[in-house]
Chains A and B, each alone.
Chain A
Amino acid sequence: MSLRGTTIGARPLPGWVRIAAPIGVGILGLAAWILYVDVAAAAPRMLPSPVAIVQEFVLHADIITEAMVVTATNALIGLVVGSIVAIALAALAAAIRPFDGMLAPIVAALAVIPIVAITPVLNTMFGASSQFGRQAVAGLAAFIPVFVNVLRGLRQSRPVHRDLFRASAATPGQTFRLLTLPTALPYLMTGLRIASSLAVIAALVAEYFGGPADGIGTAIATYAKSGRAALAWAFVLGGIIIGLVFFLVTSLLERLATRRMPV
């Protein structure tokens, strides 16, 4: 028995175990949750049964989807615009040393501000009917990891490659396009993966601080306050789905970009 245990421990897990294990843990957790809420009936009022949450999710699928679209759009616009600005500024900082020196303290300041904290200010600046404040918050949240990673990536080209391009009499433009940029690509993808989750969280949390009366965050706050726990949780489920989709898509992009990196 103990011998078998050690041999299994020493070998890499077979593929099906790697998939089945987390699913098993999930089912166990759900079973415990149902037992606690429905069978023992010992849970606080704001913790409904997972069955009730799924029922509400299905029943109100239309309004939940609508809210998901609003929040996901804000997060996506923030992610795209924030990343583009980050890439442009990182390229400038990598090319011009003094520019890097000018940007560094600003980026450091941005990185330490809890970005959602400036949401009320932005919402007031751009009016209660505009999504711009939320998009700006998502953009700021996405900016930092993309900027930091791209700037680092743009400086990763190896000396032997730089020598090769110089020996081949490559123009600065060719060196940038064929060496610096491809070298930085995996770093950009890592930055995007981190930024995608941050953008979703920022867009969602920003809704707690005013602005238009739509989106996942607004709905969660509204239904939690009015005591409709199961529906509030159904919206939380919607928020989780957005976050997962963003994360999975950017993870896939990152995997594609880093496929050929070792050597």
Chain B
Amino acid sequence: MSPETTAPDSLAVQARGIGKVFPTASADVTALTDVDLEVAAGEFVSLIGPSGCGKSTLLRLIADLDVATTGELQIFGKPAQQARVDQDYGIAFQQAGLLPWRTVAGNIALPLELHGTVKSSRDARVRELADLVGLSDFIDRYPDQLSGGMQQRVAIARALAARPRLLLMDEPFGALDEMTREYLQSELTRIAAETGAAVVFVTHSIPEAVFLSDRVVVMSPRPGRITEIVPIGLGSTRGEGLRESPAYFERVTAVREALHGAKVERANER
């Protein structure tokens, strides 16, 4: 989907044998073990699983917010740290995390400001992004004047500010009501298609994962690992009609079975 799909760059994320151990006072906690994952440029991949399966940890490793204990992790063919410094990805969290003393425009512009983009092109980009997430009329408002859904849209616009080829999202719609959630899911598929960015999306909602993704990565806890990867393949246009289609329900069932299968397997281990 991206024009720059050349050999070393064709994979947005390439993880081989990734493990993460958090040392604590009593014992080491293994958050992730032996994770292999490839995300192609422009691909939408969801990570799903119960609490403690390491899905957020994996996202934080890709973002270089934490460092993997073992294994090799490459983002567009370079180490995660280099990708972070080069701003190859944008990120959005469950909390919008807007700076309350900055306006919507100031918040969207933050990543550009941090990288010394000149004011004129910054302003133009902010207007473009506010338009993309439908907040053009709210550009001078402060975060406390916005609803939760609007704040999350600002956070998404901010994540897209530096035109990243990869978007990392950690349950960005987790704190929103169902209607806002479905609306933002549709918006996100549109934005992802328009920008051509790859997306790694952490969620604990099966319908959300199926609706958004090209592939759903099912994970399981203790220790956190990938148990199955479910291809969705519902096409690149995701209309509201899709939520009612039999193919959609079929995939929801497939992902649910993959999750439950993981549960049974865990029960057998004990």
Interface residues of A (CB under 8 A from B): 158, 160-161, 163-170, 174, 178-179, 182, 185, 260-263
DSSP majority for the A interface?
helix
Q: Which of chain B's residues have a CB closer than 8 A to the CB of A260?
A: 100-101, 142-144
Output the least CB separation between B214 and chain A (Å): 24
- Roughly how many angstroms separate A169 CA and B90 CA in the complex, as a whole number? 11
Q: Which of chain B's residues have a CB closer than 8 A to the CB of A164?
A: 91, 93, 97, 110
Output the least CB separation between B58 and chain A (Å): 15
Contact yes or no, B100 A263, CB < 8 A: yes
Q: Which of chain B's residues have a CB closer than 8 A to the CB of A160?
A: 93, 95, 97
Contact yes or no, B99 A182, CB < 8 A: yes
Output the least CB separation between A190 and chain B (Å): 16
- Roughly how many angstroms separate A161 CA and B151 CA in the complex, as a whole number? 14
Q: Which of chain A's residues have a CB closer than 8 A to the CB of B113?
A: 178
9 nearest A-B residue pairs (beta carbon)? A160-B97, A263-B100, A167-B91, A263-B143, A260-B101, A168-B111, A263-B144, A260-B100, A169-B85
Contact yes or no, A167 B101, CB < 8 A: no
- Roughly how many angstroms separate A161 CA and B143 CA in the complex, as a whole number? 14
Extra A-B contacts (9), CB below 8 Å, given A169-B114, A174-B114, A260-B142: A164-B93, A165-B114, A167-B63, A167-B64, A168-B87, A168-B110, A169-B85, A261-B100, A263-B151
- Roughly how many angstroms separate A262 CA and B144 CA in the complex, as a whole number? 7
Contact yes or no, A262 B100, CB < 8 A: yes
Query: Which residue from chain A places its CB closest to the CB of B97 in the assembled complex?
Result: A160
Contact yes or no, B97 A167, CB < 8 A: no
- Roughly how many angstroms separate A179 CA and B143 CA in the complex, as a whole number? 16
Query: Which residue from chain A places its CB closest to the CB of B116 in the assembled complex?
Result: A174
Q: Which of chain B's residues have a CB closer than 8 A to the CB of A185?
A: 101
B190 at the interface (CB under 8 A from A): no
- Roughly how many angstroms separate A178 CA and B142 CA in the complex, as a whole number? 16
B98 at the interface (CB under 8 A from A): yes
Contact yes or no, B87 A161, CB < 8 A: no
